[in-house]
Amino acid sequence: MILTFNKRAFAALLAVTALEALIATLGAPYPLLRGFVGDVVAVGWAYLVYRSFIRAGVLPLALAALFTGYAVELGQFLARHFGWRVEQPVLRIILGSVPDWWDMLAYTLGFGLVLALAAWNRRRAALRAA
């Protein structure tokens, strides 16, 4: 792994950040959108953060993004178990406060989506090169 700056990944990161902001603000009346789809997209967001600044293969970066999601969920579980509470409302929205197995499924689906999109992108690039 090498530190770098990937402009394309960073541009995609900005777009996905805007999408996540829309999901967080406008998705409140739609629990499936905000709670599940938002978590699927969050793994892609984390992947793009890593991809923007680290030169590495798709799988290691996608796994790092997946484990980031799992770590957030573990943090939520531990906070609930020990009675801790995040007082900052913005952090509470970003990190969440309720551990849920559906979130773990969403993160796993996000991981699969990242891998599928990367494979599709590689195939498209190979077809253009041929």
pLDDT of 88 above 90: no
Long-range contacts of 10-14 (CB under 8 A, 24+ apart): 10/48, 10/52, 12/48, 13/45, 13/48, 13/49, 13/51, 13/52
Average pLDDT of the residues in 48-75 = 97
pLDDT of 130 above 80: no
Q: pTM of the prediction? A: 0.91
The residue written with tokens 């990944």 in the block is 9
Q: How far apart are CA 103 and CA 107, in angstroms?
A: 6
The packing angle between helices 38-53 and 7-26, to 10°, is 160
